[in-house]
Amino acid sequence: MNVLWVFAHPEQASLSGSLRDEGVQALVEAGHEVRMSDLYAMKWKAVVDRDDFPEETSPQLRVTTASRRAYEAGTLSADIRGEQEKLAWADLVVLQFPLWWYSMPAILKGWVDRVFVKGFAYGVTDPSDGRTLRYGEGTLAGKRALVVLTAGSQEPAFGPRGINGQLDLALFPLLHGTLWYTGMSILPPVAVYGADRVSAEDHAAAVSLVRSKVLSAEQDAPLPYRSQNGGDYDGDLVLRGSLAPGLSGLGVHYHPGA
């Protein structure tokens, strides 16, 4: 398979850097093709602004309108077009980052903000019936996404009742609100905990974890998110009362028992 690996750590000689190298090596050894977007090494521009849309002439910048226009005209800035081309090529997208404030480092958020523009990653409709394709359907459907992260905390603090919030729920804006939104299938996130103090034994275990999870990414079961247009949500995009009756919270957006 074709793998796009997006890496967002400022230091090559870090735990993250070594996990990336090991993960890539495992994929290449297994015959997969890997392309790398090393955002710090690329000096990736993190901030959406008018320079992303060099042909945009309207005095007031409306990001969604300007980005869609530029996407359709092929006039997005070259760095954005390059990432979109890699994404279109990929079967699996790996996003690897150190968890900073329980979300992505700004440089990676800025990769999402700038690359996932209207028309390319969202804002498309089914030509047959005009439905907006979103949350389980869309332009990036058929691809898989895998988040690999390092966190300073220990694992129990990210468990179902841990103070940081259960990991997949804390990552809901990325896993569900971004990646699933575009139609991709989302694998359970892979986390290396206690990343500030890693013994040689911990390091070997982390390498083994990352190697095995990238190699099984083609077969592993994705998170069982409900799709927007599968019948589970009403016209206001609210979960129907007959499903997960009486419950609320982010967990209701998973199919139960999957």
Chain positions contacting a copy of itself, by CB under 8 A: 10-11, 13-14, 40, 46-50, 59-64, 98, 100-107, 109-110, 112-113, 116, 135, 152-154, 156-157, 159-166, 169-170, 172-174, 176-178, 181, 196, 226, 228, 233, 236-239, 244, 247-253
Dihedral sign, Cα of residue 139, residue 42, residue 146, residue 225: negative
CB of 213 to a copy of itself, least distance (A): 23
- Which C-beta is closer to a copy of itself: that of 82 or that of 215? 82
Tell the smallest beta-carbon distance from residue 111 to a copy of itself (Å): 8
Q: How far is the CB of 241 from a copy of itself (least distance, A)?
A: 8
According to DSSP, the residues that pair with 7 across neighbouring strands are 38, 96
Which C-beta is closer to a copy of itself: that of 64 or that of 208? 64
Distance CA 233, CA 249 (A): 15
At residue 178, what are phi and psi to the nearest 5 degrees?
-115, -65
Would you say 19 or 27 has its CB closer to a copy of itself? 19
Between 31 and 236, CB nearer to a copy of itself: 236
Of 3 and 39, which CB lies nearer to a copy of itself in the complex structure? 39
Kindly tell me which of 76 and 174 has the beta carbon lying closer to a copy of itself.
174
Q: How far apart are the first and last CA of the chain?
A: 26
Quote the least distance from Cβ 210 to a copy of itself, whole Å. 20
Q: How far is the CB of 123 from a copy of itself (least distance, A)?
A: 10
Contact at 8 Å (CB) between 258 and 41? no
Task: Give the number of other CB atoms < 10 A from CB of residue 8.
Answer: 25
**Kind and range of the H or E element at 150?**
strand 144-150
Nearest alpha carbon to residue 143 among 221, 95, 211, 89: 89
Distance from C-alpha of 195 to C-alpha of 199, rounded to nearest angstrom: 10
CA triple 197-220-106, angle to 5 deg = 50
Please state the closest distance from residue 144 (CB atom) to a copy of itself, in A: 19
Smallest Cα–Cα separation from 99: which of 189, 214, 183?
A: 189
Question: d(Cα 11, Cα 17) in Å, to the nearest integer?
Answer: 7
Name which of 185 and 228 has its Cβ closer to a copy of itself.
Answer: 228
> In whole angstroms, how close is the CB of 35 to a copy of itself at the nearest point?
22
